[in-house]
């Protein structure tokens, strides 16, 4: 009881800080709430963390406005140097399907979610329970990720489908940002 009260207080205090400032202080408050957030991670003030899951956020990761991270008894791991855009839903909760019963949504459960290092998750995307997104992958805006994604991939759509793989040398060069000369 005391632990959940402490978590609620520290998370509420973190949301009172200016939305796009005081990142270090917000990370500190979220760590005090019991989550493993690197001090260099930047979470916007309107991002919400709800549930009893274990959260780990890596170094230099950005989590945008109105992003919701929620789940039960599971782990949500977000790697280092990730960019998670605005209004992304990371939902580790799901239900057993019971079509033979009166209610199709059967008993609830939570499954781990892993977002690898260097990923970019576009605005309004949804990452569902049990998904692993491989390192350096890109999820297009509005996509719903229902299955795991290999490393160095671009996916989009509902449900998300592979658009491109950055696995060979030519594609690896194409993914580099344009440099002003």
- Tell me how many degrees the CA angle 100-105-111 measures, rounded to the nearest 5: 125
Catalytic-role residue among 95, 96, 97, 148: 95
> How far is the C-alpha of 17 from the C-alpha of 7, rounded, in Å?
16
Q: Nearest CA to 154 among 108, 120, 128?
A: 120
| 8 A C-beta contact, residue 3 and residue 34 | yes
Is residue 95 annotated as part of the catalytic site, yes or no?
yes
Q: Nearest CA to 125 among 108, 117, 137?
A: 137
As a whole number of Å, the end-to-end CA separation of the chain is 58
The C-alpha torsion from 100 through 102 and 107 to 110, rounded to 10°, is: 90
> How far is the C-alpha of 11 from the C-alpha of 172, rounded, in Å?
39
- Active site positions, annotated: 95
């Amino acid at each position: 009881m005391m632990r959940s009260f402490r978590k609620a207080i520290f998370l509420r205090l973190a949301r009172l800080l200016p939305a796009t400032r005081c990142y270090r202080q917000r990370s500190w408050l979220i760590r005090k709430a019991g989550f493993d957030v690197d001090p260099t991670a930047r979470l916007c003030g309107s991002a919400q963390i709800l549930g009893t899951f274990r959260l780990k956020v890596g170094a230099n990761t950005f989590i945008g406005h109105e992003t919701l991270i929620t789940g039960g008894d599971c782990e949500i791991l977000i790697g280092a140097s990730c960019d998670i855009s605005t209004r992304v839903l990371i939902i580790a909760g799901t239900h057993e399907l019971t079509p033979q019963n009166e209610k199709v949504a059967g008993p609830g459960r939570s499954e781990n979610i892993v977002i690898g290092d260097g990923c970019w998750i576009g605005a309004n995307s949804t990452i569902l329970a049990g998904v692993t997104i491989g390192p350096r992958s890109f999820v297009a805006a509005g996509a719903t990720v229902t299955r795991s994604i290999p490393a160095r991939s671009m996916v989009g759509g509902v449900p998300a489908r592979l658009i491109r793989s950055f696995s060979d040398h030519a594609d690896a060069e194409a993914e580099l940002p344009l440099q002003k000369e």
